[in-house]
Amino acid sequence: MKKGWKMIDELIKILNRENIEWEIYWEIGRGSSFKIEKCELERAQRKYHSGIGLRVGYNGKQGFSYITGINHPKEELEKFVKRTIKLAKVGQVKFYGFPDKKPIRKVNGIYDKKIAELEFEEALKVGKEISQKESELREKYGTSYIFSGRLAFGVAKDGIANSNGIEITEEGTAMSFSVYIVKKDGKVGSGDYYKASRILMNFEKELDIGLEKSLQETELSYNAKPLNSFEGELVLEPHAVASILGLFISNLRGDNVYHKRSKFTTVGESVASDSFTLIDDATLEGKIASYSFDGEGNPGQRTVLVENGILKNFLLDETYARLLGMESTGNAVRDFRTPPHIGTSNIIVEGKEENLEDFEGVILKKVFGEHTANPISGDFSLTVGLGYVVKNGELTPFKDNMFVGNIFEFIKSIVAVGKKKEELGAFVSPRVLGLGKIV
């Protein structure tokens, strides 16, 4: 590892001899992953990764290239620099500058020593635990049930240095697991559960929760039938909210705004119901998409995108912040193989709260097919993976309908959001009550 730091120092010395602006992004990490199929541990592997991405600015043009590994001799580094400068000279990518050095506030809870020091054999035991639990359930419920799962642990350190004086590093850990259940017996039903964490979770407890929720969802899905056409007030559960909000969020990206691929042009306009607030927050302690600095070295921050229906900010990296005459929101994401691009951190839905847990009516739990929707017009036609109607306390599941509408109209129709939030990876949301159509 020390050789790697020495190599970064050597690369900086070489770059400082050139008449260019430069930025180094480097990372080194390892991960363990396990795949369970039909209750059997089918794959267990450990992978290592490391590399450096280099961007240079020369006469208003940008060059980018990368190398894998962080243990290269000086001669290779010199070739690396020359190649990247040449790409800037012959390329057509415009260069708008790198960030200046700014104060970075450390975000807590994104590194867990227990995950970082977890031996492969210990991780393997956890993988086998999923297999064992699912085998017991299959024995209990019968061969019409198929159980699968995934488990992963990882630790990585990344760093950024540039010609404006930025030189920072951060180390983070993560673990995630998922279970997937299918019931086939004349009909088909399925259910799944996903959990991600920066710290070593109480796995036995989380696995029991995940399997129980997946089984409940599988039974609902198995017994679901198409619903008669419906139009009116309905509730979206967090998974469905995440699916349709992706269309809305793409319109908040600075690159889409600048290139006129967004419905929005300026902040301050009314874009949603006053019952709806949307936040991107990289500073939340312990959350899976939190970070102290982004892929360019700008501080991670809490950005209110929409507040009570009013557009407050776009998602910005350094380039599009400059092009739009704004400040970066710290939303440049990347790995060492790619230049930075605009992404999200933790997305939080808030708003006018009501108790929607006892809502009676049509509820959409899961929809899919959002990749087929038009992000600019906002029109969507999504397949209902699972929904249910609650009447007099009784629940009737449905699926295979289409949830149709327009994302901008739906966001403006929101009446309230629930009081209880659910965490789905980097997306945190309560239930949402709005107007919709199911055919």
Q: Please, what is the Cα angle at 128 between 141 and 427, to 5 degrees?
A: 80
Separation between Cα atoms, residue 154 and residue 173, nearest integer Å? 6
Separation between Cα atoms, residue 321 and residue 298, nearest integer Å? 12
Helix (H/G/I), strand (E/B), else coil: 120: helix
How far apart, in Å, are the Cα atoms of 288 and each of 7, 61, 138, 346, 423? 30, 35, 32, 8, 10
The label of the residue with tokens 């108790």 reads: 355
Separation between Cα atoms, residue 233 and residue 364, nearest integer Å? 11
CA proximity to 426, closest of 214, 206, 253, 197 = 197
Separation between Cα atoms, residue 272 and residue 262, nearest integer Å? 15
Determine the pLDDT at residue 1: 42
Sign for the CA dihedral angle at 308, 311, 312, 317 comes to positive
Q: For the chain, give every domain's residue range.
A: 2-223, 230-438
Structure tokens at 404: 């149709």
Contact 120, 30 (CB under 8 A): no
Contact 366, 359 (CB under 8 A): no
pLDDT averaged over 10-residue windows placed end to end, the chain, 439 residues = 73 97 97 92 93 97 96 96 97 96 97 95 90 91 94 97 97 96 95 96 92 96 97 98 96 98 96 98 97 98 98 98 98 97 98 95 96 89 97 96 97 97 97 98
| Beta-ladder partners of 181 | 147, 191
Structure tokens at 24: 């180094």
- First-last CA distance in the chain: 58
Structure tokens at 104: 């970075």
Determine the pLDDT at residue 373: 85
Separation between Cα atoms, residue 351 and residue 281, nearest integer Å? 16
Structure tokens at 28: 């080194």
Q: Which CATH class is domain 2-223?
A: alpha beta
Contact 52, 157 (CB under 8 A): no
How far apart, in Å, are the Cα atoms of 403 and each of 79, 234, 407, 432? 55, 11, 11, 15
